[in-house]
Structure 1
Amino acid sequence: MRIEVVLNVVRARQPLGDLYIGTLPSRVLWELAEYDMREIRNCEDGIYLATGVQRELSEKRVQEIATYVTTIDATFPTAVVLAISASCVTLKECDDGCLKMILQSEQVSNPDGLFSYERVARVIDGQHRIEGLKRANVEDFDVNVAILVDADIEDQARVFATVNLAQTKVSKSLVYDLFSYSTSNSPERIAHSVCLSLDQTDGSPFHERIKRLGTATPGRYAPEPLSQATVVEGLLSHMVANKKQLIADRDWARRGRSFQPISDDEARKLVLRRFFLEGRDVDLAELIWNYFEAVQKRWPEAWAVKGTGQILPRTNGFRALIRFFRDAYNFVAVPGEVVSSDTFSSIFQRSQLKWDDFNTERYPPGTSGETRLYRDLVETIE
């Protein structure tokens, strides 16, 4: 298959070599590019050889992006990075000072074996974005691209490693906090709002116990055992089934559409979803407040943030408790009902756990300790 593409580019001179910046429609991009997956091959001489640069495609990630690119606010501000053989590229200076890049190929191989393309370009970074656009069949999404011409495999590998390892990971708490700017409803905005309410309101079981941006809050001297991300993600786990639904909800609200009601069966699986869909933010916050107030009343010594080794008021304890929330809620309520603290207390009073049982020896750090505590709690309603 012969491919010919013309695009306007800007040359950026960098130590590794010239980088050409331009845009390509999504359909052209997925027809143009191929992925060079890192894999172990058994050669004829019996030697195992690692080849390729890219990681394997994640089907989950592709599905999430396929959902995202159909939303009203979809954007990819960072470039997809491509490597292209010089034998495929012609550059022309235009009279207006622009630089045109012409890409042509049927099948290209160069003598030293560093390039061998069935298509024109090899993807160094951005394969999930390209595959997500293709999966969603979004053909006219302009994607900004950064093109390296004749970069050898060593340089390709170095660029991939730099892009994926050298970046500073953004705190999830900061990301969720930015949803305070949102003018439309979304699960993240509701969860963020409830989290702030629980942290900032006197009398709340979480009063001044949540690190807003994932770091210690200025002016507070008492321990803050939970991060904003931990609380928000706990609430989201009862509002949406997965990230795909989360993206769809956000897009639905951005388009100004009304959410469709859900059945009682669905509401029993996602016990906070009905509150979100109906815009009952205050009721949702009251419900979570009442649940954890019942925990605080049942084990006040364990809920107090003192010393080390206490897991109840910290991440592991919160995750186990918020996981148990669905079981407890369905045990005493019908979907959409706001349950009182006393009603939740009637569940926790059934537990044989004492305040000093909530330690790292019984419930070690990580998912094993969280799961064990969750199972101990479930026993109270079985």
Structure 2
Amino acid sequence: MTQEIRLPAIKVEQPIGVFYAVCMDAKFLSDVSFSTRADYKRKDFLDGILSLNSGNQRKLDEKRSDDIGGFIDSTEATFPNAIIIGANIDKDGSLIEDNASRWRIEEKSDGYELVIPSKNKVVTIIDGQHRLSGFSHSERKTMPLLCSVFIDLPAPYHAYIFATININQKKVDKSLAYELYGFKLEDEPKAKWSPEKLAVYIARRMNAHHSFLKGKIKLGASIDGEKAEGIVSLATIVDGILKLITTNPKSDRDELLNYKNTKGRNGLSNGSKNTPLRQLYLDGQDAKIESIIFQYFEAIYQVLGDKQKPNSYLFKSVGFQSLFELLKRSLSDNNSTFDYEKTKKALSVLEKVDFSDIFFTASGIGASRIKNVCFILLNYKSLNELIQNKDYQDYQKFLKDMN
């Protein structure tokens, strides 16, 4: 009995050569393929020069594969980008000549077919090993995958393609990713909104309606080709909101969208003191979460808005990061409840702080300094807690000069 499998294929001709676009299910691809970890040999012992001996893949990251497995089990799972594979290569990088194992392409009157004579492992993964390995952590083993199949491509080109793809990738702007992720989310049932979608929704409403932040949140996408303007990025606001409702947005999203989850948000784990608005999120009280955040920044504006100089770091990204930390601590200390008038009164102690001072430089250390000064003045921590901090004397001087 023959094990031969025939799959429709589309021929693609590019400068490097020809490959074929084929749809193949994940389990079958896993059965017939392998990944070879990059192995180096010493070219010059004295100079320590290394050259690639075989393979092209990084060490498999099981945590990453497990995360991908969670995504595969979600109702929004998709892999539109192709798994790139090289056929007829053995684990030593040599060309396979046995016709009983070799994959081949046959031209038909209506196109092309990929002919796979057996399930022998004669295919190496050029790019996509973690996506494929994710299926071993998933209950969905046979999802169809788009594959770009190179036939008889020499092994050195495998490493070249892998390096070209991964080195030349440019990280997507986080604000743009959030903006696109939340596009038309109003069309989806709110009960199925992940923490990220809720955070994007609230941030966009703040940009449209908040008395202080209206039009001041920089979106990732340009409007009519013009560069986005504002005082704080969408990513900063969204990340701040997320920290109030989740410690692992990706895990929540995958669990929420898992096809076996029939409880919606109630199927997620409970929160902790470190996520003070988690229970409101689980209970679907999105409007209350939005109200708390709106009121908090209204209080910030009323107490500190007209006290800030144009170059104040408080109303830059580092400042907003710290303000969200301040809100999280306040909610945690008050059983997740928010009182607008009490908040305004508490914030008044910050009126005397000159947040434009060079002490609050706009960097990661600036965010820590804004947070620590606010926490000290609001009695959330003492100056002595920073005694081991390398900037302890700077804190001492700044707080003394402020008084």
Identify the residue that residue 352 of structure 2 maps to in structure 1: 354
CA distance in 2, matches of 1:327, 1:54: 44
1:145, CA displacement in angstroms? 0.6
1:324-381 Cα deviation digits (max 9, x unpaired): 32111122x223x3x1322223433445x7342444x323333222223223333322
Identify the residue that residue 300 of structure 1 maps to in structure 2: 305
Choose from 300, 315, 330 the match for 1:328.
Answer: 330
Identify the residue that residue 399 of structure 2 maps to in structure 1: none
Q: Aligned letter for 2:370?
A: L
Q: Aligned letter for 1:210?
A: I
Q: Which moved more, 1:190-199 or 1:171-180?
A: 171-180
TM-score, normalised to structure 2, is: 0.76
- Change beyond 3 A, Cα 1:286–1:123: same
Choose from 246, 252, 265 the match for 1:259.
Answer: 265
CA distance in 2, matches of 1:256, 1:180: 25
Identify the residue that residue 60 of structure 2 maps to in structure 1: 57
CA distance in 2, matches of 1:53, 1:72: 32
Q: Which moved more, 1:167-176 or 1:369-378?
A: 167-176
Identify the residue that residue 110 of structure 1 maps to in structure 2: none
Paired residues of 1:94 and 1:100 also in contact (CA < 8 A): no
1:5-50 Cα deviation digits (max 9, x unpaired): 6533222122211101112221122222222334555589675534
The 3-state SS of whatever aligns with 1:238 is: helix
Q: Aligned letter for 1:239?
A: I
Q: Aligned letter for 2:34?
A: E
Structure 2: stretches of 5+ with no match in the other structure? 89-94, 97-101, 382-403
Choose from 370, 375, 385 the match for 1:373.
Answer: 370
Choose from 160, 163, 171 the match for 1:161.
Answer: 163
Describe how 1:269-280 pairs up with structure 2 within 5 A. Answer: 269-280=274-285
Identity of aligned residues (%): 22
Identify the residue that residue 225 of structure 1 maps to in structure 2: 231
Q: Aligned letter for 1:342?
A: E
* 1:100 pairs with 2:114: yes
* 1:19 pairs with 2:27: no
Structure 1: stretches of 5+ with no match in the other structure? 107-118
The 3-state SS of whatever aligns with 2:84 is: strand
Q: Which moved more, 1:226-235 or 1:80-89?
A: 80-89
CA distance in 2, matches of 1:294, 1:253: 42
1:224, CA displacement in angstroms? 0.8
CA distance in 2, matches of 1:355, 1:197: 30
Paired residues of 1:79 and 1:146 also in contact (CA < 8 A): yes
Paired residues of 2:314 and 2:370 also in contact (CA < 8 A): no
Q: Aligned letter for 1:133?
A: F
TM-score, normalised to structure 1, is: 0.80
CA distance in 1, matches of 2:240, 2:4: 50
1:282-316 Cα deviation digits (max 9, x unpaired): 22122112222333344334656x24xx3211111
Paired residues of 2:360 and 2:367 also in contact (CA < 8 A): yes
CA distance in 2, matches of 1:156, 1:21: 17
CA distance in 2, matches of 1:230, 1:81: 35
Describe how 1:20-39 pairs up with structure 2 within 5 A. Answer: 20-38=20-38
CA distance in 1, matches of 2:251, 2:235: 19
Paired residues of 1:24 and 1:142 also in contact (CA < 8 A): yes
Describe how 1:84-95 pairs up with structure 2 within 5 A. Answer: 84-85=87-88, 87=96, 88-94=102-108
1:194, CA displacement in angstroms? 1.0
Choose from 98, 117, 127 the match for 1:125.
Answer: 127
1:218, CA displacement in angstroms? 8.4
Paired residues of 2:84 and 2:125 also in contact (CA < 8 A): yes
Paired residues of 2:206 and 2:213 also in contact (CA < 8 A): yes
CA distance in 1, matches of 2:6, 2:227: 58
The 3-state SS of whatever aligns with 1:269 is: coil
Q: Aligned letter for 2:114?
A: K
1:167, CA displacement in angstroms? 4.6
CA distance in 2, matches of 1:20, 1:366: 48
1:231, CA displacement in angstroms? 1.0
1:99, CA displacement in angstroms? 1.4
- Change beyond 3 A, Cα 1:375–1:97: same
CA distance in 1, matches of 2:367, 2:282: 29
Paired residues of 2:23 and 2:146 also in contact (CA < 8 A): yes
Paired residues of 2:44 and 2:50 also in contact (CA < 8 A): no
1:66-118 Cα deviation digits (max 9, x unpaired): 11000112111111001223633233345664413225575xxxxxxxxxxxx
- Change beyond 3 A, Cα 1:232–1:300: same
CA distance in 2, matches of 1:285, 1:99: 55
1:156, CA displacement in angstroms? 2.2
Q: Aligned letter for 1:364?
A: T
The 3-state SS of whatever aligns with 1:285 is: helix
* 1:197 pairs with 2:211: no
Q: Aligned letter for 1:75?
A: T
Paired residues of 2:280 and 2:286 also in contact (CA < 8 A): yes
- Change beyond 3 A, Cα 1:82–1:100: closer
CA distance in 2, matches of 1:184, 1:253: 16
